[in-house]
């Protein structure tokens, strides 16, 4: 869940949160606040080209959604620089059987989110990007297994290369773009 999305200011950051969530294995994202169709269209286009399913849902009442999530048996991890260090709680969170909802803020996060969360997880104790925090958290919780995921319905796929850019158009010849 992305808190504090302001369409006039945060399009790129929120889109980058969505891209990280998708690439690192999340199924979708809730965005608190005003509906921003540009983000949904952008993610639909990315999934159409690079494969995978990823949903985007806007919620006008995020705290209500979190409480409902917990009521249905899910757990909530809030990423913040004020919580328990990630290295101290990541194993406990990774071992959960329940569905996990990860909350990332943008602007100042109200106290209520800290109270409703099962885990307030510190990704460092200095100001940092919520995009970086989400990437670090998802990498650690998946033990880097997200790297092994293959999006089977992709139209394009990157072929690893130490020089240049090699992109495979699925079902077609590879193209190389050198730099």
Compare 49 and 119 and report the one with higher pLDDT: 119
The whole-number pLDDT of residue 171 equals 66
Element (H, E) at 156: strand 156-159
Burial of 42 (0-12, 13-18, 19+ CB in 10 A): middle
Q: Which fold has domain 11-148?
A: Alpha/beta knot (3.40.1280)
| Range list for CATH 3.40.1280.10 in the chain | 11-148
User: Rounded CA gap, 99 and 28, in Å?
Assistant: 13
For 70-84, the pLDDT digits (tens) are 999 999 999 998 999
Stated pTM of the model: 0.87
The whole-number pLDDT of residue 67 equals 97
Across 1-5, 53-57, 173-177, least confident range: 173-177
Neighbours of 78 (CB within 10 A): 24
């Amino acid at each position: 869940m992305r808190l504090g999305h302001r369409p006039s200011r945060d399009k790129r950051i929120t889109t980058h949160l969505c891209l990280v969530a998708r690439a690192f294995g999340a199924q979708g994202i809730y965005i608190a606040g005003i509906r921003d169709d540009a983000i949904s269209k952008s993610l639909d286009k990315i999934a159409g080209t690079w494969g995978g399913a990823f949903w985007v849902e806007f919620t006008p009442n995020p705290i209500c959604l979190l409480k409902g999530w917990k009521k249905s048996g899910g757990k909530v991890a809030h990423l913040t620089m004020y919580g328990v260090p990630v290295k101290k709680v990541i194993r406990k969170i990774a071992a959960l059987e329940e569905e996990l909802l990860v909350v990332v803020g943008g602007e100042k996060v109200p106290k209520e989110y800290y109270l409703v969360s099962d885990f307030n997880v510190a990704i460092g104790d200095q100001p940092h990007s919520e995009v970086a925090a989400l990437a670090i958290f998802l990498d650690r919780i998946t033990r880097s297994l997200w790297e092994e995921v293959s999006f089977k319905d992709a139209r394009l796929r990157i072929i690893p290369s130490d020089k240049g850019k090699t992109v495979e158009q699925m079902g077609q010849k590879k193209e190389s773009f050198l730099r």
